[in-house]
Chains A and B, each alone.
Chain A
Amino acid sequence: MTALSSSEGSGLRTNAPRAGNPRPATTRIASLGVRAVPALCVLGALGLGLGLIALTGVPLARALPAFARGIVGSDYALVGSLMRAVPLSLIGLGYILAERANLTNVGGEGQLAVGGIASAAVALYGGAAALPRPLAFLAPLAAGALAGALWGALAGALKARRGSNEVITTLLLGFVGLQMVYGSVQSEALLRQPRTDSSTLPESLPLPAATELPLLARGSGLPLHVGLVIALLLAVLVGLLLAKSSLGLRLAAVGQNELASRRAGLRVKSLIVLALGASGALGGLAGAIMIQGDQHYLTAGFSSGFGFDGLVVGLLARGSAWQVPLFALLFGALRSGGLAMEMSAQVPAAVVLVCQGLIVVATAAAAALGRRRA
């Protein structure tokens, strides 16, 4: 894409650097209104969800408590919601990182997938279990992040060298990644567990205990693992990187005006590869955390839409790193609550999908209309 078209933006303008450039009061009030819009969209979509539940004939008095119990009803449910938010948050952080350079990473699902494959491969066959304790689980995590980084950087390199639209390449690489998980658990030469009888499932062996993520509350038996800490630390790190570091400023410069950045001596191509690579690394790390923390084995389709949900989380956060974990928590809670509602109140979990879809569409529209007024 030319500098002109990239300065026109893909519709996902960030409020990138505007320090030292205070806007007039009227704009500030308008932008306050725009900032409340995501919350309004979420509320509206949830309202419609209530309507759908009413349509099923299940009394709200039965469905809603089931929904709430699924999110915070027990320590176990609460931990489940938190753990679902971890990969969503990481993908969302990756999304806003690339977004800062005006790059749209829609390949989160594939970055999750290759991260999961690499993590499982290193944990099972890379000798990670034999390493001393912190390395035993850190090595597969690093492998996952590295695989995701390569996946993202590949799209970045294609854009920098060949001018290929990163939207198209990350999307295509996403599908390739998903198929790679499927392929690697189908073949015993790859990651499939040895076939002992005809009922052996196409999955990997369970991961060695040493490579699983350490639990935070060991005594309680809750699956609250260290992935939560990693996700929070990275939210702070990405926030600092975007707001305070020179790298953040350089990414924003490339995002705002590629030609001017090049004239100013920035290495635009390297920055594009770096932005998509870092974005992919966060996705790959999320995949490794899902495998080592939650699933404990590799199976086809383990990423089950987390990549796309994470993209939405990043989108809703509108470039703000500290908002990413909040929206991740919301989406993690929606998933947990929806599953519980389906199981104990027989309300299809599809209601949650409808709500999510509405939130996405409404937010995108509101963002565009808000920009138009401003």
Chain B
Amino acid sequence: MIESLGVFVASTLRLATPLVLGATGEVVSERAGVLNLSLEGMMLSAAFAAALGAHASGSPLVGLGAGVLAALLLAAAQAWLSVRAGANQLVVGIGINLLALGATTFAYREIFGGLSREVIPSFEAWSVPGLASLPLVGPALFQQTPLVYAALALVGFSAWLINATSFGLALRAAGEDPRAADQAGVPVARVRMLCVLYTGACAGLAGAFLSVSSISTFTEGMTNGAGYLAVTAVILGAWRTSRVLAACLLFGAATALQFLLPALGVALPTALLTMLPYLLALAAVSGVVGRSRPPAALTLPFRRGSSR
């Protein structure tokens, strides 16, 4: 029982990490008024590019760089299309997801071909000196790959960026009332585009975590909705970084339970656990538990000088 507690904590953290990385990036964009459904596609492309980079170079670090670059490319497309061109954010996001799923599946078959499920060079776990030898949860919490710690640091950075910097003030203004922000001299379009690129970089880390840190391989469509789940975590977290982190950990725990409960002989329909994140988020946006209000200008394009 105690042993499985350690396993449970460790797998919760491992399953939550891609969500944390993706969601802390996404929360910055959404606070600025841009909803990126393309998070899923960015993460998937990053997972593929990271696997490819690590495979070609033998170094997971190169893979990580390739992953971030791939996600940034899609983020730039999302940013230009939805902010500069004023295209519908959701539709652009869904299109990018189709594109990413098709392109990674195609490239995977062409490049890796028959060598499917090839093991990719990946990051080793790193023990925090001293803490990792703590009884019970020591190995679970303090013997993880570097990206897990990076994810937690990134939450702090995003919170600081949003709440304590002048850029953060500008992005919040762009997300709540872009017209007023514009009149106050905030370059709304540039701020929004930078935020989407930040989301892209974080999504790159999230995707790379999947293929070169968590599981050392790439499989077709391997994100399997993790990007959408990260977007859901932002909703449940009411667009606040600390609560978004809590939501991600909760989702990670729910997924970990799906594997743990059968092992403990508890019969709970797994569909209930997989449904839980979406139900909780629904309850949150409908005000059943707490009140989760999105930024006022979320998904609305802004065009300078237009009256409507």
The chain A residues found within 8 Å of chain B, CB to CB, are 5, 7-12, 52, 55-56, 104, 106, 158, 162, 164-165, 167-169, 171-173, 175-176, 179-180, 182-184, 186-187, 308, 311-312, 315, 348, 350-361, 363-365, 367-369, 371-372
Contact = CB atoms under 8 A, between A and B. Distances in A.
B308 A7 contact: yes
Interface residues of B, number: 52
A364 B87 contact: yes
B90 A167 contact: yes
B232 interface: yes
B301 A11 contact: yes
B86 A371 contact: yes
Contacts of B225: 175
B99 A357 contact: yes
A360 B274 contact: no
Contact of A365 (B35, B87, B98, B294): B87
B222 interface: no
A350 B105 contact: yes
Contact of A55 (B92, B110, B275, B279): B110
A164 B296 CA distance: 11
A368 B274 contact: no
Interface stretch (B157-165, B185-193, B264-272): B264-272
A357 B105 CA distance: 13
B102 A360 contact: no
> Which residue, A158, A368, A372, has most C-beta atoms of chain B within 10 A?
A368
Contacts of A353: 98-99, 101-102, 105
Nearest to A175: B278
Interface in B275-308: 275, 278-279, 281-282, 285-287, 294, 296-301, 303, 308
Contacts of A11: 86-89, 91, 299-301
27 contacts: A5-B300, A11-B88, A11-B301, A55-B110, A56-B110, A104-B88, A158-B286, A167-B35, A180-B275, A186-B269, A186-B270, A187-B269, A312-B94, A348-B105, A348-B106, A350-B109, A352-B102, A353-B98, A356-B102, A358-B99, A360-B94, A364-B81, A364-B88, A364-B91, A365-B87, A368-B85, A368-B87
B271 A182 contact: yes
B269 A368 contact: no
Contact of A368 (B96, B270, B272, B301): B301
B96 A165 contact: no
A21 to B, nearest CB: 17
- State the main secondary structure of chain B at its contact with A: helix
Contacts of A359: 95
A361 B109 contact: no
User: Would you list the 10 A-B pairs with minimal beta carbon distance, nearest first?
Assistant: A183-B271, A353-B102, A357-B99, A360-B95, A357-B98, A11-B88, A354-B102, A361-B95, A350-B105, A368-B87
A315 B91 contact: yes
Given A356-B102, A357-B96, A10 B87 contact: no
Contact of B102 (A106, A357, A371): A357
B94 A311 contact: yes
B77 interface: yes
B235 interface: yes
Interface in B110-158: 110
B97 interface: yes
Contacts of B308: 7-9
Given A5-B297, A357-B100, A106 B90 contact: yes
Given A357-B95, A360-B94, A165 B102 contact: no
Nearest to B301: A11
B103 interface: yes
A372 B189 CA distance: 15
Tell me which of A8, A106, A187 has the highest count of chain B C-beta atoms within 10 A of its own C-beta: A8
Given A56-B110, A165-B285, A179-B271, A354 B279 contact: no
Contacts of A315: 91
A165 B86 contact: no
Contacts of A167: 35, 90, 299
A371 B88 CA distance: 12
B102 A162 contact: no
Nearest to A312: B94
B209 interface: no
Contacts of A182: 271, 274
Nearest to B293: A163
B207 to A, nearest CB: 17
A172 B77 CA distance: 25
Nearest to A173: B282
A357 B77 CA distance: 13
B198 interface: no
A186 B274 CA distance: 13
A101 B100 CA distance: 31
Nearest to B276: A179
A158 B99 contact: no
